Structure 1
């Protein structure tokens, strides 16, 4: 894996190449994580736009993520990557205790394209999400979908999509309240 790569620094391209078929799923998790906590407004927008790029690629049936060359060439210190992996392994091991491959519909080409469309919807909702109120449920939903795809567990994916529906409903309610408030303010 990454241990076979030489040098003190690893490029994003090296990491994506090692991840192969799970690169999309891990990108989804990484783009959802910052939104699981209250973050200032530009972060959900940036994560949503990047998730939109990833979701379109999944929906188009691409086998591995395309990222801009400038991003693929960026490097990260090997020790930082190793530290992050050491922190992530216990969490993934706990998840693997109760998670197992289920509902393999998401492993088919058509199923993955459907996941791309679902993630596209979540990305669009994240782009326009209300700060905190709408951002956190959508961030959790994106993370659960990504983790379900990493573990090939359709139940976790379905829980994530259900939470995503709640997040979309919260944001729709928030938008409705703002629009109706503005309309009543101006007696429209």
Structure 2
């Protein structure tokens, strides 16, 4: 694991290499987390664009995520990574008590490609999310889908997709209201 890596700092490339087959799922969780709380407008856009990149790779059937070389070379202090892992482990242990591998359809190559297309939809909705509150259901949905993929639990994935459907509907209503408002403004 990461403990075998030497030095005071770890590169993003080191972390992705250790994650192997779960790298995509953990990237999805990481990109959803900032959107679970009200954040200023650039955060959902940045997370949505990065999620779009990850979703396209999942839909294309790639076995490991491709990240730009500049990002892979970035380093993080080992102490920061260890602190984050120590905070996440208790939460993941609680989830693992309830969660178990179910609904293997999401583990097949076709299932993962379909999941990539669904994540692509969530990413596009996140890009145009209503400021402050529009991103919260989408962030929760992305996190649950990612956690379900990490734990190989189709039920958690489906709960995430249900919340994502509500989030997409909420944001579609927001976009419709803005477009209708602009159209009615010009027809005056």
* Correspondence for 2:13: 13
How many Å separate the matches in 2 of 1:18 and 1:137?
30
Deviations along 1:112-132, one digit per CA (max 9) or x if unpaired, are 000000000000110111112
Distance 2:111 2:54 in 1: 16
Q: Is the 8 A contact 2:41 2:132 kept in 1?
A: no
| TM-fit CA distance, 1:177 | 1.8
Query: Across the two proteins, how many residue pairs are aligned to each other?
Result: 188
Partner Cα separation in structure 2 for residue 181 and residue 135 of structure 1: 21
Write the distance in 2 (CA, Å) between the matches of 1:159 and 1:98: 14
Q: Which residues of 2 match residues 28-67 of structure 1 at below 5 A?
A: 28-67=28-67
- The alignment's C-alpha RMSD in Å is 1.0
Q: Which consecutive residues of structure 2, in runs of 5 or more, have no partner in the other structure?
A: none
Listed as ranges, the gaps of 5+ residues in structure 1 are: none
1:81 is aligned to 81
Partners of 1:179 and 1:22 in 2: CA distance: 39
Distance 1:146 1:48 in 2: 14
2:66 and 2:41 map into 1 onto residues whose CA distance is 26
- For residues 81 and 141 of structure 2, what CA distance do their matches in structure 1 show? 25
- For residues 57-79 of structure 1, the C-alpha deviation after alignment (integer angstroms, 9 at most, x for no partner) is 00000000000000000011111
**What SS is found at the alignment partner of 1:39?**
coil
Instruction: State the SS of the aligned residue for 1:112.
Output: helix
Tell me, in whole angstroms, the C-alpha distance in 2 between the residues paired with 1:55 and 1:46.
Answer: 14
CA distance in 1, matches of 2:66, 2:152: 22
Q: SS of the residue aligned with 1:102?
A: coil
Select between 114-123 and 127-136 the one with higher mean Cα deviation.
127-136
Residues in 1 aligned to 2:132 and 2:168: alpha-carbon distance in whole angstroms: 13
Residue 134 (structure 1) shift: 1.5
| TM-superposed deviation, 1:182 | 3.1
Matches of 2:166 and 2:11, distance apart in 1: 37
TM-score (ref. length: structure 2): 0.97
1:28-177 matched pairs, under 5 angstroms: 28-177=28-177
SS at match of 1:47: helix
